[in-house]
Amino acid sequence: MGAGLHEAFIASARQNPQAVSVVEPGKGAITYGELDALSDRLRDRLAQLGVGRGDRVGIYLRKSIDSVATLLGALKAGAAYVPVDPGAPAARGAYILHNCAVKVVVVEAALADKLGAELERLGATPAMIAVDGRQNGGAGLRIALDVADAQATAPGAETVPSLPSDLAYILYTSGSTGKPKGVMLSHENAVSFVDWCSEIFAPTAADRFSSHAPFHFDLSILDIYVCLKHGATLVLIGEDIGKDAPRLAQLIADERISIWYSAPSILALLAQFGNLPKHDYAELRQVLFAGEVFPVKHLRTLCELLPSPQYFNLYGPTETNVCTWHEVPLPVPPERSTPYPIGKVCSQLRGRVLDQHGFEVARGSQGELCIAGPGVMQGYWALPEQTAKGFFTGEDGTAWYRTGDIVTEAEDGCYTYLGRRDRMVKRRGYRVELGEIEASLYRHTKVKEAAVVAFADEQAGVSITAFLSSRETQRPSLIEIKRFCAENLPLYMIPDQFTWFDSLPKTSTDKIDYQRLKEMR
């Protein structure tokens, strides 16, 4: 077998073509054989459109069997896929697709005009394959390919044998300069992680994996590729039900999910509002969470309601995917309030804790967690300076990725997360650069100054406050400023509170005094 991320899926499809690979609950399903054939057809079409090794293919689809087939098709064609949130403002999506120069975008038909207009404004004209999002079971993509074939058949192409260093996907995360930045992940990055998951979670073909995270979020890599490697079934959870705790609780039971993976925030909602005791979770054997700190209060409630599964705290930035892990020992003691450690470094990676000068700190002292090994990204798309800043080169030439997370290491090699060295926060598992929110707020004509501060919040983990001053006496109303944010930022980046001043407090050097703002809550 070759080095490609899609190759383990192809092997599963050959081994058991009749097995169900992906389910859209209540709507449709597709077998391994059918998914293999559908993604082959897309590969052929992409090849006919000129896509080959080293190219990028944009995915602007809601989560569906169509979108799973699309990312497999893109990989088979030798391209890296670039999943973009179709729920975020179209201008942001167009920026991303233009930034990494996708050759083709597979787009939901209802969104194609708006996205096309935004792309054109940027001078980008990738080919578009429009997929009817109202179809189920992969029919949307199948029909789109039928229509294209009716005009000109795409000749059969070969699945491209990817090299370990070829890019498999690019995930865009919030960027401190106000624009999202693309994290480049190779086949080797992804495959080494998937193989580690096989070792730790020991999945089988009988497992049913949740797919809760959207595909532009790196949690999706575990869901999709670990599941498909082992011939298991992937249960797609759409955005509508994914945040609706009572119905989601029902769905996890009805679909007999056995391996669950999400950000802690949704598990906290399930524990509080899911009416979990009403349902039977006999099949649920592992609950994995990552993306942010899980407040112990809610984790304890969850573990008390569902005591059978194993609970794993997985940690890692998009740049490394999961790099440390910790199995939570049950039960969670009633008096515990400090969050659990992020755990030990994964076996395929190496970790070090460094001070600001790049020297290793004494065990137990605070420092920045740095990671090396086959899981570490290749860099940020077209941002060589930021890439260089993201790495520290060791004495032996090893490139250590600097996570920006401040940790301590215990005697047993377990890391505990303490905070960030910069202005990034995690919200519902998403990375949010406070600077990106500020940059957006400054675009409002009435905003003179903007400073965005994150506060710890027991309920939500983190709450975000925007401190603003206005150029005009008539300040924008709360509704107006929220609407402005919604037009310019993904929903998870909109501040919870807006506080207006005549002028923001300043330090002696006339910079905005963040320290005073932090004390103002």
Partner 1 sequence: MTNALTQTIKNFIMTEFLPGENPDELTETTPLIRGGILDSIATLKLVMFMEEKYSVSFEPHEVDKENLDNLSSIVRLLQSKNPTVM
Write each residue from 369 to 408 as x if it is in contact with partner 1 (CB under 8 A), else as -, in one continuous string: ----------------------------------------
Single out the residue of 393, 491, 507, 518 in contact with partner 1 (rule: CB under 8 A): 491
Tokens representing 461 are 């983990």
The answer to whether residue 482 forms part of the interface with partner 1 (CB under 8 A) is: yes
The answer to whether residue 477 forms part of the interface with partner 1 (CB under 8 A) is: yes
Distance, CA of 88 to CA of 149 (rounded, Å): 31
Write each residue from 288 to 327 as x if it is in contact with partner 1 (CB under 8 A), else as -, in one continuous string: ----------------------------------------
Q: How far is the CB of 248 from partner 1 (least distance, A)?
A: 9
Distance, CA of 7 to CA of 362 (rounded, Å): 43
Among 170-178, 227-235, 327-335, 485-493, the segment contacting partner 1 (CB under 8 A): 485-493
The answer to whether residue 88 forms part of the interface with partner 1 (CB under 8 A) is: no
- Assess contact for 350 and 364: CB atoms under 8 A: no
Tokens representing 513 are 């005094």
Single out the residue of 494, 504, 512, 517 in contact with partner 1 (rule: CB under 8 A): 494
- Assess contact for 57 and 51: CB atoms under 8 A: yes
The answer to whether residue 53 forms part of the interface with partner 1 (CB under 8 A) is: no
Distance, CA of 237 to CA of 24 (rounded, Å): 7
Q: How far is the CB of 265 from partner 1 (least distance, A)?
A: 8
Among 118-126, 212-220, 245-253, 407-415, the segment contacting partner 1 (CB under 8 A): 245-253
Q: How far is the CB of 451 from partner 1 (least distance, A)?
A: 19
Single out the residue of 273, 278, 282, 336 in contact with partner 1 (rule: CB under 8 A): 273
Of the pair 25, 33, the CB lying nearest partner 1 is at 25
The answer to whether residue 446 forms part of the interface with partner 1 (CB under 8 A) is: no
CA distances from 508 to 448, 451, 505 (A): 20, 17, 10
Please write down the long-range contacts of 446-455, taking CB distance under 8 Å and 24 or more positions apart.
446/470, 446/471, 446/472, 446/474, 446/475, 446/476, 447/471, 447/476, 448/503, 449/501, 449/503, 449/504, 449/512, 451/504, 451/512, 451/514, 451/517, 452/495, 453/514, 453/517, 453/518, 454/425, 455/518, 455/521
The answer to whether residue 243 forms part of the interface with partner 1 (CB under 8 A) is: yes
* Residue 208 CB partners (closer than 8 Å, separation 6+): 232, 233, 234, 235, 255, 256, 257, 258, 259, 283
Single out the residue of 117, 486, 511, 520 in contact with partner 1 (rule: CB under 8 A): 486
Single out the residue of 131, 245, 253, 276 in contact with partner 1 (rule: CB under 8 A): 245
The answer to whether residue 452 forms part of the interface with partner 1 (CB under 8 A) is: no
Residues that bind partner 1 (rule: CB under 8 A) add up to a total of 22
E strands, 80-146, are 80-83, 104-108, 127-131
Instruction: List interacting residues with partner 1 (CB under 8 A).
Output: 238, 240-241, 243-247, 269, 273, 460, 477-480, 482-483, 485-486, 491-492, 494
